[in-house]
Amino acid sequence: MMEDTRMEWFRDAKYGMFIHWGLYAQLGGIWNGTAYPHGTEWIMRNARIPLEEYRKLQDTFNPVEFDAEEWVKSAVDYGAKYLCFTAKHHDGFAMYDSKVSDYNIMHTPFGRDVVKELAEACKKYGVVFCLYYSQMQDWEDPNGNGNDWDFDEEKKDFRYYFENKVKPQVKELLTNYGEIGIMWFDTPYDMPVDLCQELRRWVLSIQPKCIINGRIGYGIGDYRQMGDNDIPVLGYRGDWETPMTLNNTWGYSKTDENWKDPKVIMKMLIDVAGKGGNLLLNVGPDPLGKIPEGGDRVMRVMGDWMKVNGDSIYGTRRCVDFPYEIRWGGLTAKGSTLYMHVMSTRENPDEIKICNLETKAKRVYLLETGEDLPFFQSYEIARDEHRFRVVTKGRRWDSLNTVIVVELEEEPKVHSLYFHFEDLVKTEK
């Protein structure tokens, strides 16, 4: 029971904003004239940049245009209910005032604690603040995982790093910045299970309500973290989240303008929410602290839609699986309400149909205007088919997604395709 209330805000939120920002933003995926476009935040490892070279990025990090309030206000405009920020990514650099290691943002020309500023802004605007922390990989620490070009793998003492950097830094993050919604860990690889368990206990001993994501490892997180950019094909029963990039990288890229179309994101959001998960959409701000224009544009389109249609996303829960493909869009559900998300009317703009819905509908209307729509429900015995048809003739469609609300008498029940006619009537072949 206790567990349940802890997860409630996460289940209701459905849509979050991920921000990857660190020293690597200055390189934007290019090192010595060579492009490392995929995972620009991985450039230190992908280009095997010696630590002494990479470290110099500390001397030039000065994002004078960074404004925490502007980022958080954007998150609100985008419709995101939570914001997850990279406090320390694999490169080991802390984007906050850490007393544990000098390899942190206070030792740059910028010298401001962006985690603190973001925490305050999130509190002010009612956005749940969450922190990403790379617990296994740390390319600056001689005992951290991942850097095998500066440090001798044989000589590494992971437990030493865990006790002397990970635990104290996680403690700082959970002590100095108010309530943290999620501690978002990453790439646990083959981290020993006892240390993962220890880390979980550690987090909860400091902030018992903090949610821990699945990448703490071994299924001991509070929800399943799906693969990067991966949406499961079938509905998933537990709590889950898909981290998704807006272009093809997490950190800032000088070359990647391959922003996903809002239609594509919309389809994914409906798919994820319908299957009971959350979508965590990522953007990588530039070295000056600005959210790239292309990403911002896409997110705003989504946000504008959410302002009008948010009821069909926030607070929804996993929708029952319908047996047929829904080619006009998708479904989300909240108790006895179904939301039909009409994203394509190419097949038939006059009528939108769901097959195999058994439950009786009471009222059908357009979410945006509240206007009632005529509907028909039928069951044909000889075909053993339930049909639910909404008349949409002459309607104006939102180019992105028009939501039709279906109020049912009870929670939706679906008629199985595996029905035996013999149960219904004696038939002979």
Q: Which residues bind ligand GLC (CB under 6 A)?
A: 20, 39, 41-42, 186-187, 228, 243, 250
Q: Of the two residues 92 and 330, which places its CB atom closer to ligand GLC in the complex?
A: 92
Q: How far apart are CA 262 and CA 272, in angstroms?
A: 15
57 touches 43 (CB < 8 A): no
Q: Which of 112, 89, 94 is nearest to 168 (CA)?
A: 94
213 touches 185 (CB < 8 A): yes
Q: Of the two residues 134 and 312, which places its CB atom closer to ligand GLC in the complex?
A: 134
Q: Which of 216, 92, 199 is nearest to 147 (CA)?
A: 92
283 touches 292 (CB < 8 A): yes
Minimal distance, residue 250 CB to ligand GLC, in Å = 5
**Side chain identity at 214, as an amino acid letter?**
G
Q: Of the two residues 228 and 261, which places its CB atom closer to ligand GLC in the complex?
A: 228
131 touches 113 (CB < 8 A): no
Minimal distance, residue 249 CB to ligand GLC, in Å = 9
Minimal distance, residue 83 CB to ligand GLC, in Å = 14
> 209: which 2 tokens?
């309500």
Q: Of the two residues 203 and 281, which places its CB atom closer to ligand GLC in the complex?
A: 281
Q: Which of 265, 286, 384, 318 is nearest to 26 (CA)?
A: 286
Q: Of the two residues 215 and 267, which places its CB atom closer to ligand GLC in the complex?
A: 215
Minimal distance, residue 212 CB to ligand GLC, in Å = 15
Q: Which residues pair with 157 in a beta bridge?
A: none
Minimal distance, residue 209 CB to ligand GLC, in Å = 23
Q: Of the two residues 86 and 359, which places its CB atom closer to ligand GLC in the complex?
A: 86
Minimal distance, residue 269 CB to ligand GLC, in Å = 17
Number of residue whose CB is nearest ligand GLC = 243
Minimal distance, residue 239 CB to ligand GLC, in Å = 17
Q: How far is CA 369 from CA 241, 265, 300, 363, 364, in A?
A: 31, 24, 21, 14, 12
Can you say how many angstroms the Cα of residue 181 is from the centroid of all Cα atoms in its chain? Answer: 13
Q: Of the two residues 40 and 316, which places its CB atom closer to ligand GLC in the complex?
A: 40
Q: How far apart are the first and last CA of the chain?
A: 53
Minimal distance, residue 385 CB to ligand GLC, in Å = 42
Query: Which residue carries 């939706």 as its tokens?
Result: 412
Q: Of the two residues 72 and 84, which places its CB atom closer to ligand GLC in the complex?
A: 84
Q: For the chain, what is the total number of helices (H) and then of strands (E)?
A: 12, 17
